[in-house]
Each structure stands twice: as C-alpha cells, then as structure tokens.
Amino acid sequence: MFGFNIGKDKDNKDINIFDGTAVDEFIERIKERLNRSLEDEIKEQIRKLKVEYKRDDQNAINTGITAKAEEKAKEWICPRIPAWVNSDMLTVLGFLSSFIIASGFIFGFTNRWYLILVIVGLILNWFGDSFDGSLARYRKKTRPNYGYYIDHVVDGLVILIFGLGLGLSGFFRIEIGLAFVILYLILMIHVELITYVQNEFKYSFGLVGPTEIRIIGIFLTIVMFFLPVKYYDIWGYSLTQYDLFASFAVVVMSIILVFSILSKGIELDKIDRKRWK
C-alpha cells in the first residue's frame, strides 16, 4: 500500500513515501549519484584541457585553462623567433622582467601610471619563462640538466623579487607579500619532489598554473589602476582591500598545498606498500 515506484531500496523494493527513513536513504543515494556524476564531469573537463608532452626525459603535464592555447601559440611563435635569439636570452628576459614588475608596484602606489610597467613585465615574464625551454626543444638544442637547474633557480628568484615588490609598494603589507612568496616556493618544492620521485613535472594545480596567475595579476593591476586604496582596521591592523584579496589567495594556496601533500603522500604510500608483497 502506498508503495510508489520512485526508486528502489537496498532490498530492491519500492520506496514507501510514508516511510521517512526509506525516503531519506533514497534521497541520500540520489545525492551520491549526482555528486559522482558532477565529479566525473569535472574530471572529464580537466582531461580535455590537459596537455602532456615530453620535456627531455620528464613527462610534463599542464591542466591549466590556457594550456592548449599556449601550446598552439608556442607552435606558431617558436619558428618565427629570430635565429640570433637563443633560450638563454629568453631566460634572462624572464628574470629581468621581475624587476620591471616590482618597480611598477612600488612606484605605482604614488603614480598609478607606473602600474603599466606591471602589465608589461608580466607579459615579458610569460614570454621569457614559457618560451626559453620551448625554443630549445624546437631547435633540438636542449640541455636537460642545465635547463632544469637554471629554470627553477630563476623561478625562485623571480617570485622573491615579485613578492618584495608587492610588500614594499604600499598596496600590500610586507608580511602578506612574504607569506605569498613562502607558500609559492613550498609549492615549487612540492612539484620538484614529485618530479624527482615520479619523473612527472606538473605545471599547474587543477585549472590554475603560472600563466593563469599572470592573467589574474594583469586583471588585478587594472583594478588597482582605477580604484583608490581603501584602508580597513581589522584587529588593530590597517589593511587595504588588496591585502584582503592577497590574504584570501594565501589561504587558498595553503589549502591546495595541504591537499596536494596529503593526496600525493597517500598515493606514494600505496605504491611503496605494493613492494612489500
């Protein structure tokens, strides 16, 4: 009686709509299926964005939103780079651009027009950092050990200069700028350790990689150009609206870091335990 066929319970029987427990269990199963479907859909979309290629002896993986567009840009631009330009020049360009970015933030606090330097610097940094290795691979003049070492040392210096530029600018507190630097460097160490252990270099975390961070930086700089700095008194600290944004970014990076460490640790533990049998 009143056994409407809105679903089946664990015993493969019709759900009685007047049985509260049965209906609750049915709703929970529906939620579980929907969540699983959503999770599968997200994984499928990330898979479609995923770019994999051989970086010397390493498997390079990029799941960033711009990954495929960036690879197509490299395929078109690399053959058109003049012969006298080499990968070392592009690495130097990427490094020097960090000083342009930092100067733009520092001087842009008193004169907003200097913020244009930040946008120019981010574009130059993207070009230098993204194309140095790509150009070497295109010309078949790779130096795996040298390139890997120089590339990541320069990346560390760039993020340090970038963070100092933020912290000394007046837009951000120095503590928040340095917190950003520290977390970014720890994420870099995490990526390097995975590369060493699994020979797999990941350019991105989910949909966000270095290129996406630069794009966010460009949009933030445009906002900084037009909006005056506002100050908020929070627990005795004077914070700008940009401090609040950066603090949120630091929290997100912390969550990503903890999740990445735990998930990778569990994965590696399972792999190692298989050798016990």
- On whether the CB atoms of residues 172 and 242 are closer than 8 A, the answer is yes
Paired strand residues for 238: 233
- On whether the CB atoms of residues 221 and 115 are closer than 8 A, the answer is yes
Paired strand residues for 208: 205
Taking residue 66's Cβ as centre, other Cβ atoms within 10 Å add up to: 21
The answer as to whether 36 is a domain residue is no
Q: How many domains does the chain have?
A: 2
Band (pLDDT 50/70/90 cuts) for residue 250 is very high
* pLDDT tens-place string over residues 146-156: 998 999 999 99
Q: Are residues 128 and 237 in the same domain?
A: yes
Q: Are residues 178 and 259 in the same domain?
A: yes
Q: Are residues 111 and 17 in the same domain?
A: no
First to last CA, the chain: 55
Q: Are residues 85 and 23 in the same domain?
A: no
pLDDT for the residue 11: 47
Over residues 174-184, mean pLDDT: 94
The token pair at 165 is 């530029």
The answer as to whether 129 is a domain residue is yes
Residue 81 vs residues 45, 56, 97, 116, 129: alpha-carbon distances, Å: 33, 21, 19, 25, 15
Q: Are residues 225 and 115 in the same domain?
A: yes
CATH label of the domain that carries residue 213: 1.20.120.1760
pLDDT for the residue 1: 41
Q: Are residues 13 and 146 in the same domain?
A: no
Q: Are residues 74 and 14 in the same domain?
A: no
The answer as to whether 229 is a domain residue is yes
Whether the predicted pLDDT of 38 surpasses 70? no
In terms of residue numbers, what domain contains 149? Answer: 66-276
pLDDT for the residue 181: 94
The burial class, CB within 10 Å (0-12 / 13-18 / 19+), for 67 is buried
pLDDT for the residue 116: 97
Mean pLDDT lowest among 68-77, 204-213, 261-270: 204-213
- On whether the CB atoms of residues 208 and 277 are closer than 8 A, the answer is no
Coil, helix or strand for 237? Answer: strand
pLDDT for the residue 45: 55
Taking residue 19's Cβ as centre, other Cβ atoms within 10 Å add up to: 14
Q: Are residues 1 and 126 in the same domain?
A: no
The answer as to whether 95 is a domain residue is yes
The token pair at 190 is 């995490």
Whether the predicted pLDDT of 157 surpasses 80? yes
What is the C-alpha separation between 28 and 37, in angstroms, rounded?
14
Over residues 207-234, mean pLDDT: 92
Where do the DSSP E strands lie in 176-230?
Answer: 200-202
pLDDT for the residue 66: 87
The answer as to whether 46 is a domain residue is no
The answer as to whether 55 is a domain residue is no
Residue 4 DSSP label: -
Q: Are residues 94 and 8 in the same domain?
A: no
Q: Are residues 157 and 84 in the same domain?
A: yes
Name every residue whose Cβ is closer than 8 Å to that of residue 273 and which is 6 or more positions away in sequence. none
Over residues 122-150, mean pLDDT: 93
What is the C-alpha separation between 55 and 60, in angstroms, rounded?
6
Q: Are residues 16 and 82 in the same domain?
A: no
- On whether the CB atoms of residues 15 and 22 are closer than 8 A, the answer is yes
3-state secondary structure 256-269: HHHHHHHHHHHHHH
Band (pLDDT 50/70/90 cuts) for residue 10 is very low
What is the C-alpha separation between 80 and 277, in angstroms, rounded?
54
The answer as to whether 262 is a domain residue is yes
Name every residue whose Cβ is closer than 8 Å to that of residue 261 and which is 6 or more positions away in sequence. 190
Residue 135 vs residues 61, 127, 131, 140: alpha-carbon distances, Å: 18, 11, 6, 8
The answer as to whether 199 is a domain residue is yes
Q: Are residues 114 and 197 in the same domain?
A: yes
The token pair at 140 is 């078949």
